[in-house]
Chains A and B, each alone.
Chain A
């Protein structure tokens, strides 16, 4: 696998702690663990996306009614 990666520093004590945590798990490395946790954290912080305009919604609702999806 050709993976592009960058280095980030974490305290040595934290590194050792993570090494202990991942022992005997499927997580292959400290880097893998850190990437997984960060991705999880970043996904939690997503802001809600844009809503549809009133006009758009009404148009869609008409079609949904015509197809029998809503009364």
Chain B
């Protein structure tokens, strides 16, 4: 089994005794309300998804991540996992003391053992992580809205928050045991935020041909307007796997994590996360984790050159399409026919057909998948 990033799977979910004691102590601790995205970060730290992080990063790691895409100990790490607070709030917190992190509704989520408070430059953070300062970029807009002070230190999670998708929620410990139980030595991860079309299936099955199993890992959480709703993505993949995959070769579980749309840097982050789940390979397609035209279509593949020590093997896919002459999904390396024979997998085109209540042609989408999507009154985020 592939080692977790940094060699050890982090586990910071308190057991029953620890939780009771922490909740008792929490009554007298200062409180910070955190967003749903930060709650996901806390859970990802605590369950080992972000191993080797044990908490929100301190200033030295933050600077190293921005400048070198590595933690201070030289481990690859490209997205700073940080927790922001208002200046007034932060003034009330003392380094070396604990804080209770609460949901917006007042539910205690975790204890933050505050080690450090520091300020940061929003423009620098945006430019280095997103390679742009354009506020039209959703990641940059989020950075612009961040509060002034970053709080750092290890966290202890009180308990994992329930979601409507708990049936699909597995921790890295659970996926590692699952892969072992299935006898998979090599596992390819497929990151998605979309319903599957035939092109996705082609990529997944091509990768699966050379590995023991595939881990379909949809990202659940804040997404862009117009993206498919989480429940639609899950239902459509359930249907695809049921009809077109061998049960013993495919597993789907969710990843609750905010999409940051940081293109190349986020591709590395996605790879690290899947390595922690126990995957040995990850599919990286065209414009992975990109948005608009901010990144070169293959920047998210090229960046892997800089990380020979990542541990997980990226599988790169370039353009693929349905060729009318070949009568199959092909790519530019294997199909000699001209563009007139090509049918592109256009998400917009598929979406338009679905919105009109029309089933996309079978060379674009499996009819079973289309039918499931069309059962939802409004399958898209508003």
Chain A interface (Cβ < 8 Å from any Cβ of B)? 1-3, 26, 36-37, 39-40, 42-43, 46-50, 52, 56-57, 60-61, 63-64, 67, 69-70
Contacts and interface: CB of A to CB of B under 8 A. Distances in A.
A52 B177 contact: yes
B177 A39 contact: no
B308 A64 contact: no
B173 A60 contact: yes
Contact of B181 (A40, A50, A70): A70
A64 B181 contact: yes
A30 B309 CA distance: 18
B74 interface: yes
Nearest to B176: A52
B177 A64 contact: yes
Given A49-B3, A49-B7, A49-B9, A39 B309 contact: yes
Contacts of A50: 8
B308 A46 contact: no
Contact of B4 (A40, A42, A49, A56): A49
Nearest to A39: B309
B16 interface: no
B346 interface: no
A36 B70 CA distance: 13
Interface of B: 1, 3-4, 7-9, 63, 67-68, 74, 167, 170, 173-174, 176-178, 181-182, 251, 305-311
Contacts of A52: 173, 176-177
Contacts of B306: 36
A50 B4 CA distance: 10
A46 B275 CA distance: 14
Closest 10 A/B residue pairs (Cβ) = A43-B309, A40-B308, A39-B309, A49-B3, A60-B177, A1-B67, A60-B174, A49-B7, A39-B308, A70-B181
16 contacts: A1-B68, A36-B306, A39-B74, A39-B308, A43-B309, A47-B7, A48-B1, A49-B3, A49-B7, A52-B176, A52-B177, A60-B177, A64-B178, A64-B181, A69-B170, A69-B178
